[in-house]
Structure 1
Amino acid sequence: MELFKKISLCLPFFCLSTITYADWVSDSVKNTEAHTIQMRHHLHQHPELGNLEFKTSAFVQKELKSYGIEVKKGFAKTGVIGILKGGQPGPVIALRADMDGLPVEEKTGLAFASKDKGIYQGKEVSVMHACGHDTHTAMLLGAAKILAANKDKVKGTVVFVFQPAEEGGADIDNLTQINEIGSRKMISDGALNNPKPEAIFGLHVMSGMPVNHLYYKAGAILNSADNLRVQLNGQQAHGSMPWLSHDPIVASAQVINNLQTMVSRRIDLTQGMGVVSIGSIQAGTAGNVIPDQVNLLGTIRSNNEGIRQQILEQLPEMIQSTAAANQVKAHVEISPYSPVTMNDNALTEAMIPALEKAVGKEKLHLLEHNASGSEDFAYYGKLMPSLFVFLGATPTDHDMSKAAANHSPMFIVDDATLKTGVETHIRFVLDYPNVAEQVQSAWKNNKS
């Protein structure tokens, strides 16, 4: 049953007829909630790794077609595009969800916990939706169902973007083939060409934030992320005779220490922050043998594009010079994964009323700082005004500071928050046409 509100306008000599309108959005979200949760449970129980989301893709296509939405496929291997033409003239906008799971063994104990396996980098692993992409897909499908059923109220065209491999590919080298997956591949494959959106929206569930609360900020909302791989090649010798070696172990220690000075001594930290972390060191087979090779894997993060570029440009020389000082040769590979995810200033400001409609002022929060993670959603923001917001995932009766983080085997999303995600997508669609002209004008002025 829809919720109706009435407005009566009386003047001194007459009364106008009563105007009745329906708050159909909240009512529709409530009526669709059970289906959205059911879809989420199914997707959570059957996660698939990045670039291998074949069953998930088929599920999305089937759902969209059942709503009467035009479906296009053939993008980024498993990506899906849904197109809904509204009943009224207006702009083309996009809503995006990611679909991939992670190589993590689930330990939540949920009734619908994943027990599935997959092949990650040639090895069998457990697979889990440990970052909430199951909820993203289900919420966007829920919004698509409602919008399709009410397309007469939609101004313009909605492009539903279901993207694979946001977390990277399970079947590729994520350093040398990173352009072949995720949002970059969706873009290069023409997923957003016909029709071409003029703005794009996305959201992400976050642990440590209470359910049904939304968080936003203009400008940088997530850090950049770039992958680093270093191979140090020296000369093997017996551990008792190090003078016969060119020791890559000692060289690697000095490289790691020097990398920390890249930020602390070279970066203007009044402009933002930077992080260079080494997470994997592989070398040697015995304690009394100095090996001839050491392999390092790391990550580079920043919330400022200028700082990011400075690190990317200066890092290889620092590593190679440090290696040379130890008579070791260094092979350095840096793979750009994602720029800083930037929320367009004009779009963010213009959509605050839409966010307030979705949750109310008391549950809408302005972030003081960006989050430390990263998102390849950033590439869409290079093409058009974009807005990315966070949706609380942790039950309100939990200690937010102790909630298992995204990517943890204990990570959970409270089903109660799904309805807010669905409504937020719908509010984006309904409210954007009212501010489209001013947002596009600001975008063009900034680009000129």
Structure 2
Amino acid sequence: MSNRFRATPLSIALLAALTANIAHAADVSWVDPAVAQVNQEVIDVRHTLHQNPELGNTEVKTAALVADHLKALGIDVRTQVGKTGVVGVLKGGLPGPVMALRADMDALPVKEMTGLPYASTATGVRLGKTVPVMHACGHDTHTAMLLGAAKVLAQHRDQVAGTVVFLFQPAEEGAADVDDFQTDTLIGAQAMIRDGALDSPKVEAIFGVHVMAGYPTGHLYYKAGTVLNSSDGFRITLKGRQTHGSAPWSGVDPIVASAAVVNGLQTLVSRRVDLSQGMGVISVGTINGGAASNIIPETVEMTGTIRSNSPAIRDTLLKKMPPLVQGISTAYETEANVLVVNHAPVTTNDPDLTRSMVKALELAAPGKVKELPASLSPSEDFSYYAQKVPGLFVFLGATPADQDMSKAPNNHSPYFTADDATLATGVKAHVQFVLNYPQRNTAR
């Protein structure tokens, strides 16, 4: 039997329809003019958000602004998703898959020092304490860019194949009303997922864009597979017996024990994990104990973070850390309490999805797309979405090209800035993901 294709009137008609559909979907000449038309509005929204930042789970005004913008575009809107999150659903004029675009809305408890004309002077309440608030990680740009993409796509919905779900997420940096070591409350991406953000309608793939200082404006960076580290926090309390510093033998010293614990934790990375699988880092960020120089305190508390770009290494560190601390504590005759909280797994870009979307990135930033040689050290709760459906998380340079990239203040710095000129590229990336994913899906 021959495998050669034999043309029939029906097959010819189907082929013609398919070809016309692909040609139609590939006609994206309208994207750049459409993005240019909304660019000033995107910048203005970004400045408004930057001047009025809100901490995680308190993004009430931000969420209202987002919802109003989406409703004005004729997009179906759900609010209070994941507490203060907003979900918008846009049905395109052509049949196709359900795709999600995600932006985070929350700011950080950081006092802004940039001197920008639209700098934040806002304060917020975190766990009952008033703190300064700043968009020190660029979430204002993420929200503004996704709103810009929503406008472009809504105005050209007849060109969109499938359905677009816009996820505006709270509390990516943590929640102002939830202690970092509270383990019984879901926040951020996990709370959005719990509330059905990926289920109504059922999302097939998800995309995210994150601005990065120290990378040139308008450049996009991607990597298949592992792209960001996992993040887990820990709190260790060591209880001894208070005594005078002149007679340590009459008590039990938790400060000396804490020093041994800090050193011991480093051996988990150097001696207990297979570093050929990736990397791991355990960092102690705070140590608190004592109130007088001549008194040995009863307790010492330390907190820190565990990061890895390997799920296997992460699992090893999380499994072996508590018994190691308990063993050291016992040797020093103190009592140890170890609490570990999981913040985010390793962020992994689906390899097939990543490769198929390089074209979309090139359309968004012609000649300015680069594959990262290695994963980056920060963490992101976008990873929870990417565990549920294939995901692609890319990075957008936010530092003007004429500046020294090595001197740009990093994300989370009180001096962090994101160049307004990069926003148009972020809007284009979101739009091109939506326009190119259905073609990739058809060609499979």
TM-score normalised by L of structure 2: 0.93
Shift of 1:74: 2.4
Q: 2:145 aligns with which of 139, 150, 156?
A: 139
SS of the aligned residue for 1:93 comes to: strand
Specify the alignment match of 2:222 in structure 1: 216
Shift of 1:179: 4.3
Identity, in percent, stands at 56
- What amino acid is the match of 1:55? K
* Residue 171 (structure 2) pairs with residue 165 (structure 1): yes
Specify the alignment match of 1:42 in structure 2: 48
Q: How many correspondences in the alignment?
A: 420
- What amino acid is the match of 1:374? S
Specify the alignment match of 2:314 in structure 1: 308
The superposition leaves residues 86-145 of structure 1 with CA deviations (integer Å, 9 ceiling, x where unpaired) of 000000010000000000000100000000001122211110000000000000000000
SS of the aligned residue for 1:196 comes to: coil
Contact 1:81 1:162 in 2 (8 A): yes
* Residue 206 (structure 2) pairs with residue 200 (structure 1): yes
Shift of 1:79: 0.4
* Residue 86 (structure 2) pairs with residue 80 (structure 1): yes
Specify the alignment match of 1:443 in structure 2: none
Matches of 1:201 and 1:269 in 2, distance apart? 30
Unaligned runs of 5+ in 1: 1-18, 440-448
Relative to structure 1, the CA distance from residue 328 to residue 437 in structure 2 (aligned partners, 3 Å threshold; closer, same or farther) is farther
* Residue 295 (structure 2) pairs with residue 289 (structure 1): yes
Q: 1:23 aligns with which of 26, 29, 38?
A: 29
Could you tell which deviates more after superposition, 66-75 or 199-208?
66-75
User: What is the aligned-residue RMSD (CA, Å)?
Assistant: 1.2
Specify the alignment match of 1:434 in structure 2: 439
Q: 1:372 aligns with which of 369, 377, 386?
A: 377
The superposition leaves residues 279-317 of structure 1 with CA deviations (integer Å, 9 ceiling, x where unpaired) of 001101101000000000000000000000000000000
* Residue 240 (structure 2) pairs with residue 245 (structure 1): no
- What amino acid is the match of 2:280? G
- What amino acid is the match of 2:360? A
Matches of 2:337 and 2:293 in 1, distance apart? 25
Matches of 2:182 and 2:108 in 1, distance apart? 20
Matches of 2:194 and 2:251 in 1, distance apart? 47
Relative to structure 1, the CA distance from residue 348 to residue 76 in structure 2 (aligned partners, 3 Å threshold; closer, same or farther) is same
- What amino acid is the match of 2:80? G
Matches of 2:312 and 2:442 in 1, distance apart? 30
Shift of 1:368: 0.5
Specify the alignment match of 1:101 in structure 2: 107
SS of the aligned residue for 2:426 comes to: helix
The superposition leaves residues 41-79 of structure 1 with CA deviations (integer Å, 9 ceiling, x where unpaired) of 000000000111011000100010111111011211100
Matches of 2:222 and 2:288 in 1, distance apart? 40
Unaligned runs of 5+ in 2: 1-22
Matches of 2:184 and 2:56 in 1, distance apart? 12
| Pairing 1:92-131 to 2, within 5 Å after superposition | 92-131=98-137
Matches of 1:286 and 1:411 in 2, distance apart? 38
Matches of 1:196 and 1:248 in 2, distance apart? 52
TM-score normalised by L of structure 1: 0.92
Q: 1:363 aligns with which of 364, 368, 379?
A: 368
Give the ranges of 4+ consecutive aligned residues of structure 1 lying more than 4 Å apart after TM superposition: 19-22
- What amino acid is the match of 1:271? Q
